Amino acid sequence: MDALANELKAKIVESLKLQDVNPDQIDDNAPLFGAGLDLDSIDALELVVMLEKHYGIVIKDIEEGRPAFQSVRALAEFVRARRPSQ
């Protein structure tokens, strides 16, 4: 199990106020936008805020974040790569 992926699922549910969605139900590889969780561009911006708040990753251009928002797995990889060293 990927602890970071699980943590991100909880943060997605919390920051987007997803209703009737249990973090455990989110598939690591399922698309977050369009199909899957059916998120939209405003949700992507909320995820940008979440990434900065919890992981110190600053995104100034939504195109930068686009690869990260493909799935939870992609998001976890993005966080690992971009997270400032602690």
Partner 1 sequence: MTARFPVITGLGIVAAPGCRVDEVWDSIRAGTSGLQPLSLFDSPRYGQVPTGEVRHNLIALGAPTHGSRSDQLGWLAARDALRSAGLDLSGGTERVGVLLGCSVGGSFDSERFLTTLLKQGKMRARPTRFHECVSVVDLIADTFGLYGPSMAIATACSSGALAIATAAEMILAGEADVMLAGGADSLSRMTWAGFHSLLLVDDAGCRPFDRHRAGTSLGEGAGILALETEASARQRGATILARLSGWGLSCDAHHSTAPHPEGAGAIAAMQGALRRAGLTSAAIDYINAHGTGTRDNDLAEAKALKSVFGDRVPPFSSTKGFFGHALAASGALEAVLCVEALRRQEMPPNPGFTVLDPAIGLTPLPLLQSASLAHVMSNSFGFGGNNAVLIFSKPESEAVPRLAHPAPGAITGLGVIGPGATCVRDIEPPLPPGSVTVHSCGALADAALLSSNQRRRLSRLIQMALITARRSHTPDPAQRLAVAIGTGLGFLEDAAAFLENLISKDEREPMPARFPNSVHNAAAAQVAIDLGARAMNSAPTNGEISFESALWQGMCQLATGEADGALVGAVDELNKYPLSIGQRWGFWTDRTGPGEGAMVASLTREETATTPLARVTAVRLGRYRRPFDAVREAEWIASAVNLAAVDVVLSGAGSVPALDAHYHAVVTALGDLTGRALEHQTYKQLCGEFHAASAFGFSVAVERVRQTGRGVLLYTLSLRGAKALCCVQP
Q: How many whole angstroms from its chain centre is CA 25?
A: 15
DSSP annotation of 27 reads -
**Should residue 35 be labelled a site residue for partner 1 when binding is judged by CB under 8 A?**
no
Q: By CB under 8 A, is residue 38 in contact with partner 1?
A: yes
Helix axes 41-55, 72-82, angle to 10 degrees: 40
Instruction: Rule CB under 8 A: choose which of 24, 61, 81, 85 binds partner 1.
Output: 61
| C-alpha span between 78 and 73 (Å, rounded) | 9
Q: From CA 83, how far away is CA 77, in angstroms rounded?
A: 10
The verdict on 20 binding partner 1 (CB under 8 A) reads yes
Residue from the set 10, 25, 27, 45 that interacts with partner 1 by CB under 8 A = 45
The reply on whether position 16 binds partner 1 by CB under 8 A is yes
Closer of 41 and 85 to partner 1 (Cβ)? 41
Kindly determine how many residues on this chain lie close enough to bind partner 1 according to the rule CB under 8 A.
20
